[in-house]
Amino acid sequence: MSCSSCSTNKSGVPNGCKSNGNCATGTCGSGNKLAVFDWLSNMTLPSGEAPFNIFEVRFKNGRKHFYKNSENLTLSMGDVVAVEGSSGHDVGIVSLAGELVRVQMKKRKITADSDEVKKIYRKASQKDIDVWQEARGRELETQRKGREIVSRLGLKMKLSDVEYQGDGTKATFYYTADERVDFRQLIRDLASAFSIRVEMRQVGMRQEAARLGGIGSCGRELCCSTWLTDFRKVNTAAARYQQLSLNPLKLAGQCGKLKCCLNYELDTYLDALQSFPKQDKVLKTEKGDAVFVKMDIFKKLLWYTYKEESFKWYKLSLEQVHEIIEMNKNNELALPLEEYELEIAEETPIDFENVVGQDSLTRFDAPKKSRNNRRRSRKPVSKKPENQASEAKTTRKPQAKQVKKAEGEPKPDKKRVDNRKPRPKNNPRNRKPKPEAGGTAEKPTQGQQKKPRNPRRKNNNQRKKNNSDTKNNPNNEN
């Protein structure tokens, strides 16, 4: 997190604090990583007691050392000072002052007379700060060229970071390697390429991740690059105690080692496991011997299965398991596990409640239906009720044509009315097939009796024919 007064440019580098770095690398003036809050600063010293004359100074990536104020300078937290280096001077920021420095030195087992405690020369001048910033600006290019030299020499090592001294005369190259590396030729090439004194320092995988920083699987910054100061040993037993699957992809961090956060809740799990029986304990029942499968520590539930029927698991509470163990100690067989499982009252899980009109949390879990499936699954349109249908018919038809029927009167059969014109007799389509010789024509049944023919009007052709016959035959009375 950056300080509130910082503003960032396009490359993500804060400009407000004028450190020309970023908070992830610990170069922000107010929000450095691994910072310590001085909770003793408001306390006054006893009369006649001189303030502690050693200060803690911070450098790049949280590197800290203790320096003695031999010149009795007036210093406070956040001041940029020039301190003694291995050769020349270095530039750093005062990160801690007062009595809390004494506590930190005692924690690291460093005495005030140790050779590790060097001197503070002066407060950094503007010239010292300019040289320091210029040296810091060359670190990325130096690291890139250094990696090219390493690949050219074929060394099995990885340059993870480069740090220049405040006066720009020395550079420290941090690297990681699985095996011993002979880098004598590398030092010569680096010194001739950059015209500086070179120091090679090997670091572990966790130290490399702490220097580089990053985002963990939890979505937050790495603990080792923000607040974790010491690296405790982490082994697979911590995962076993917490009933975690031993999957290296999930248990390993960005450094390739086991995650440091496996130790955070380990003490809580160990306290809770004290009331649980050992996992190799066998439960003797009337149906057979049952062995342990898994457990839920904080819900105090255990799962057991029979040796002969390992496909079926039975859920038991911690009290039931202790009861069965006590019965076995008295040489008594317990009831089958099925009866114990029925006694456990299952709590209904509290699901999502739509109190103020939110959408369901699982609304995107179901796959979307395709358009073809939607068309197939469409429901038929519901028909209107009979009352509404009758009302619509009455509105369409005039009142004169509406005929009220009696309740007991049967409905007449609806017959289709043929309004087509009759076809002529000589039409071959109207000709009926003649009965076969020697056969008898089938008589129509009672339901198929012929209806009497309606008299038809003569068409125009027949009228013309009749008129012509009367003209040619004058003896015809008609």
C-alpha distances in Å from residue 306, one per residue of 287, 292, 293:
8, 9, 10
Ranges of residues in the chain whose predicted pLDDT is under 70: 1-36, 346-361, 369-478
Bridge partners (DSSP) of residue 305 are 291
Name the helix (H) or strand (E) containing 181: none
Q: Using a CB cutoff of 8 Å and minimum separation of 24, what contacts does 252-255 make?
A: 253/209, 253/216, 253/217, 253/222, 254/209, 254/214, 254/216, 254/222, 255/205, 255/206, 255/208, 255/209, 255/224
d(CA 136, CA 19): 10
Q: What is the per-residue pLDDT for 27?
A: 42
Name the helix (H) or strand (E) containing 304: strand 301-306
Bridge partners (DSSP) of residue 440 are none
Q: What is the per-residue pLDDT for 229?
A: 76
d(CA 394, CA 400): 11
Q: What is the per-residue pLDDT for 147?
A: 94
Residue with tokens 């480069």: 162
Cα angle for residues 278, 283, 288 (degrees, 5° grid):
150
Q: What is the per-residue pLDDT for 32?
A: 52
Q: Where are the alpha helices (DSSP H) in 220-330?
A: 223-226, 236-241, 248-251, 266-272, 318-329
Q: What is the per-residue pLDDT for 478?
A: 42
Q: What tokens were used for 132? A: 């320091």
Q: What is the per-residue pLDDT for 172?
A: 93
d(CA 97, CA 468): 143
Q: What is the per-residue pLDDT for 133?
A: 93
357: left (phi over 0), alpha (psi -120 to 50) or beta: left
Query: 429 by DSSP, 3-state: which?
Result: helix
Q: Using a CB cutoff of 8 Å and minimum separation of 24, what contacts does 309-317 make?
A: 314/290, 314/338, 314/340, 314/341, 315/341, 315/344, 316/340, 316/341, 316/344, 317/344
Determine phi and psi for 145, rounding to 5 degrees: -70, -35
Residues 6 or more apart in contact with residue 91 via CB below 8 angstroms: 80, 81, 82, 83, 124, 128, 129, 131, 132, 166, 167
Domain 134-211 belongs to what topology? GMP Synthetase; Chain A, domain 3 (3.30.300)
d(CA 161, CA 144): 10
- For the chain, the residue count is 478
d(CA 278, CA 284): 15
Q: What is the per-residue pLDDT for 403?
A: 45
- Identity of the residue numbered 21: G
Bridge partners (DSSP) of residue 83 are 90, 120
- The predicted-structure confidence for 70-119, as pLDDT tens digits, reads as follows 888 888 888 999 999 888 899 999 988 888 899 889 988 899 888 889 99
Q: What is the per-residue pLDDT for 21?
A: 45
Query: 129 by DSSP, 3-state: which?
Result: helix
Q: Hey, where are the domains in the chain?
A: 1-28, 32-109, 134-211, 232-275, 276-342
